[in-house]
Amino acid sequence: MFLTLLKRELMLARRNWVAVLIPLFFFVIVVSLFPFAVSPEAEFLQQIAAGVVWVAALLAVLLSLDLFYRGDFQDGSLEQLLIMASPIQVALSKVTAHWLVTGLPLVLISPLLAGLMHLNYAPNGAVEMNHTPIMMLSLLLGTPTMCLLGAIGMSLSLAASRNGMLVAVMILPLYVPILIFGSSVITASLANSGYNAQIAILAAILLFALVLTPYTTGKALKVAVS
């Protein structure tokens, strides 16, 4: 059942592939604004790279949520899905599809941003180190949590009258922990110190969210169609 639902979500996304690419463009554009706004110096960009990439990823995930929930809610298919399968299955299939279509591409395109933000910059004479894999790992562990938490906020606001900003206001405070640990993985790597603890905590938060949030999202989806 889960696979059927997932296939349906992915097929819908494929038929609407331009809309699926928009979050990706958004991610790249937001990050590339910072050199204009702050300073194009490599040393400086390297320092803010972790935070900028992470915040941009958060916003890209938040803004892409609409695609997977709004349409189904408006044309009534969400109601049919909830009759057909358990709310947890519906929630999980939507989150998985959302991550595969938005989260994973964000991770895959992040090396480009690492280059733009001079993440691997080394001053003259210093040994150049490659921090890009660490950044990808932190995003790989962080983006699923973003999708899981965002799903709660999106489903809660489905039946509400105003929602674009509402989801952000509700969910962004809940993103604080992963933002802290996610960007501190990269900062720790830049400072040449250990980052295993942060990686472990990111993974723990992901598992925690994976267990609890599908149930909550399912509940919220049922409230939305009630």
Partner 1 sequence: MASFSKTAGRWFHQLGSPKWFYQKSVKWLPWLWISCLALFAFGLYYSLWASPVDYQQGNSVRIMYIHVPTAVLSMVAYLAMAVCAVIGMVWKMKMSFMAMRALAPIGAAFTLICLFTGSLWGIPTWGTWWEWDARMTSELVLLFLYLGFIALHSSFSDRTKADNAAAILAIVGAINIPIIYGSVKWWNTLHQAYSVTKKGAIDPQMQTPLFIMIAAFYVLFIILVIIRLRLEIMNREAKAKWLQQEVGLGQESNAGANG
Q: Is 169 a binder of partner 1 (CB under 8 A)?
A: yes
Q: Is 181 a binder of partner 1 (CB under 8 A)?
A: yes
Residue among 100 and 179 whose Cβ is closer to partner 1:
179
Residue among 23 and 218 whose Cβ is closer to partner 1:
218
**Helix axes 132-157 and 164-171, enclosed angle (nearest 10):** 120
For 193, the token pair is 């110190």
Tell me how far, at minimum, the Cβ of 33 lies from partner 1, in Å.
24
Tell me how far, at minimum, the Cβ of 44 lies from partner 1, in Å.
18
Q: Is 174 a binder of partner 1 (CB under 8 A)?
A: yes
Residue among 100 and 174 whose Cβ is closer to partner 1:
174
Q: Is 173 a binder of partner 1 (CB under 8 A)?
A: yes
For 28, the token pair is 């790249």
The only residue of 3, 15, 127, 161 in contact with partner 1, by rule CB under 8 A: 161
Residue among 28 and 199 whose Cβ is closer to partner 1:
199
Q: What are phi and psi of 122, to 5 degrees?
A: -130, 130
Q: Are 163 and 185 in contact (CB under 8 A)?
A: no
Interface positions with partner 1 (CB under 8 A): 152-153, 156-157, 159-163, 166, 169-174, 176-177, 180-181, 184, 188, 201, 205, 212, 216, 219-220, 223-224, 226
